[in-house]
């Protein structure tokens, strides 16, 4: 019996370590920060963000120029290598960043933000990254590709109530949905659905200040087709970050939020079926629910090719230099059961901007650093993640041996 236990222990350690993910750096951009990365129809990847301020010398005038943020876009091949990379603004007068990029039928559209006046602009580029046109749009929060060509834009416009509106390839408005139609005070995120519609994650606030979360679905003609109120107390202490909302292949919706306490935070994963019923809502982290000096923050979701979901995040441990504010990845199965966790000290102060699927359980990750203290610079990293997990070889899922 003792020998059986030893053999099982050896198999457990060997199989578990063999199933941890493999993370490989494919590309990096010094003094660039990424804000959005998408997979194109031809399988490449296009991103937007900004080139960070840098002090340069104008040799003709013999003076130093302290540039502002400059709008940036790039295209990468399937290995993460650069096809083209272009800085689209001069950074002399305005500080402009690219927030979101979406693919159309004739190039790409970038939603930008001017940090000086907090206004947003649409910038259309062709497939080589050359600017075709620009259009002011007031204040907007999210841009995605429309199912039948054109784009869906979420946010405010000309200081009116929040709405969603459809744009054609030239950035002209085709239709809009007003906030009165939604009857919500805040629209948080919007994604494409597997039945070629769109769904918004939104909330309204009741008379005592509680957030009431809702899902609102609409079609390509701007008609609302479905609404569902979610159980409010689940998200009572949750903060939501754009990009932490997806739909899986079976139609379920996955929402990742950060559950906040006094000096502690956990990651909450909520799974909702197509009818709006909550299948589960679970917390993940160290010392869940306790006010220990550990913050865990959710950044990014992707559905794993062989089932379940992979999440990105950051871990911050107060008063320690070990594992401080580092990148972490963890994986759960379809029912929310924890499968693996790993952290990466090399990537400190980094946020996952986007997960994109490659093939054979491989994924591309766009990662940006607020500041690389070791190299004294800002960086964007392009990583490939290989998910080595195989439930057939996982001893944690095997029957107990007596």
Place of tokens 């944690």: 396
Task: Give the pLDDT score at 397.
Answer: 43
pLDDT for residue 156 is more than 50: yes
DSSP states of 97-139 as a string? EEEEEEE-SSSEEEEEEETTTTEEEEEEE-TTS-EEEEEEEES
Rounded CA separation 399/24 (Å)? 34
Q: Which distant-in-sequence residues (6+ apart) come within 8 Å of 111 by Cβ?
A: 98, 99, 100, 101, 102, 120, 121, 122, 137, 140, 142, 143, 153
Banded pLDDT at 110 (limits 50, 70, 90):
very high
pLDDT for residue 108 is more than 90: yes
**Cβ(13)–Cβ(5) below 8 Å:** no
Rounded CA separation 274/272 (Å)? 7
pLDDT single digits (tens) 348-389: 767 888 899 988 889 999 988 765 555 557 889 999 999 988
Distances (CA, A) of 168 to 2, 108, 220, 221, 245: 70, 12, 12, 12, 25
pTM (2 d.p.): 0.87
Rounded CA separation 329/338 (Å)? 12
Least confident range from 15-19, 37-41, 311-315: namely: 15-19
What is the overall mean pLDDT for the chain?
83
Rounded CA separation 77/260 (Å)? 38
For 15, which DSSP code? H
- Side-chain-side CA neighbours of 289 within 13 Å: the count stands at 2
């Amino acid at each position: 019996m003792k020998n059986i236990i030893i053999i099982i222990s050896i198999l457990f350690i060997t199989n578990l370590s063999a199933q941890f993910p493999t993370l490989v750096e494919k590309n990096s951009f010094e003094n660039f920060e990424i804000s959005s990365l998408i997979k194109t129809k031809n399988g490449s990847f296009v991103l937007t963000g900004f080139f960070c301020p840098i002090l340069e010398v104008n040799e003709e005038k013999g003076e130093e120029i302290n540039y502002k943020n400059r709008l940036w876009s790039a295209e990468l091949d399937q290995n993460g290598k650069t096809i083209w990379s272009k800085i689209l603004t001069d950074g002399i007068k305005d500080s402009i960043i690219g927030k979101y990029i979406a693919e159309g039928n004739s190039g790409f559209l970038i939603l930008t933000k001017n940090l000086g006046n907090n206004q947003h602009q649409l910038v259309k580029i062709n497939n080589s990254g050359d600017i075709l046109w620009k259009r002011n749009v007031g204040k907007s929060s999210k841009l995605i590709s429309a199912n039948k060509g054109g784009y869906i834009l979420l946010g405010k416009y000309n200081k009116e109530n929040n709405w969603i509106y459809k744009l054609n390839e030239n950035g002209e408005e085709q239709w809009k949905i007003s906030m009165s139609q939604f009857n919500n005070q805040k629209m948080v995120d919007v994604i494409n659905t597997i039945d070629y519609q769109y769904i918004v994650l939104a909330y309204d606030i009741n008379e005592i200040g509680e957030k009431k979360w809702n899902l609102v679905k609409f079609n390509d003609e701007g008609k609302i087709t479905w609404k569902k109120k979610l159980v409010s107390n689940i998200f009572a202490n949750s903060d939501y970050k754009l990009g932490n909302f997806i739909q899986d292949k079976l139609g379920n919706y996955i929402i990742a939020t950060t559950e906040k306490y006094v000096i502690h935070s956990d990651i909450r994963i909520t799974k909702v079926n197509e009818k709006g019923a909550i299948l589960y809502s679970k917390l993940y982290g160290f010392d869940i629910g306790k006010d220990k000096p550990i913050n865990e923050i959710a950044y990014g979701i992707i559905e794993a090719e062989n089932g379940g979901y992979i999440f990105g995040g950051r871990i911050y441990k107060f008063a320690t230099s070990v594992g401080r504010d580092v990148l972490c990845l963890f994986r759960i199965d379809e029912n929310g059961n924890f499968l693996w966790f790993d952290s990466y000290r090399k990537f400190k102060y980094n946020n996952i901007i986007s997960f994109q699927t490659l093939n054979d359980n491989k994924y591309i990750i766009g990662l940006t650093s607020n500041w690389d203290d070791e190299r004294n610079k800002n960086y964007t990293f392009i990583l490939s993640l290989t998910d080595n997990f195989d439930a057939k070889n996982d001893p944690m899922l095997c029957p107990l041996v007596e």
